[in-house]
């Protein structure tokens, strides 16, 4: 692992670096109401990372090339390019929310495996309640949210 421009490279997705910015814990701290909640912080990291990996997966599926996947205080980004149609771009926009829905569908499993209080409870709560809120937020049909592109899939 190496640090560059404030990002720590934690892995790769099809050669694209997966990077976490030093500000990510600060964003998680703010999201958690300035409270010490490491389980919720980890949940936030998981949700943003899964969301961006969802975009990366569908970007590759439509013939795009992913340059990087970044997680930072304000959320994340999947930097990609490709000669794609507006409909394909909308499909990629749905990737993040669909990946989050996959996490949400496994919520009963998470809840049964994790302790009900403390770290485990905070993690389970973030993977369910916070996840639902972030899904709704991401589907707002205006930039910079994914909904600005995603809802175009259903237009003529």
- Prediction pTM value: 0.93
The answer to whether the Cα torsion of 69, 91, 93, 41 is positive or negative is: negative
| Every domain of the chain and the residues it spans | 3-154
What is the chain's pLDDT, residue by residue, as a tens digit (156 residues)?
A: 677 789 999 999 999 999 999 999 999 889 888 989 999 999 999 999 999 999 999 999 999 999 999 999 999 999 999 999 999 999 999 999 999 999 999 988 877 887 788 999 899 999 999 999 999 999 999 999 999 999 999 987
138 close to 54: Cβ distance less than 8 angstroms? no
* DSSP element (H, E) containing 104: helix 86-105
């Amino acid at each position: 692992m190496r640090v560059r421009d404030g990002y720590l490279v934690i892995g790769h997705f099809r050669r694209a670096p997966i990077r976490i910015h030093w500000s990510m814990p600060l964003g998680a701290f703010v999201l958690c109401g300035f409270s010490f909640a490491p389980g919720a912080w980890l949940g936030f990291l998981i949700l943003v990372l899964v969301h961006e990996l969802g975009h990366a997966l569908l970007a590759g599926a439509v013939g795009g090339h992913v340059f990087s996947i970044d997680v930072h205080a304000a959320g994340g980004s999947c930097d990609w390019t490709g000669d794609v149609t507006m409909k394909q771009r909308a499909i990629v926009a749905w990737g993040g929310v669909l990946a989050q829905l996959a996490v949400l569908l496994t919520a009963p499993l998470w809840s049964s495996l994790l302790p009900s209080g403390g770290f485990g409870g905070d993690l389970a709560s973030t993977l369910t309640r916070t996840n639902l809120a972030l899904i709704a937020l991401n589907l707002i049909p205006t930039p910079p949210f994914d909904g600005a592109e995603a809802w175009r899939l259903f237009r003529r």
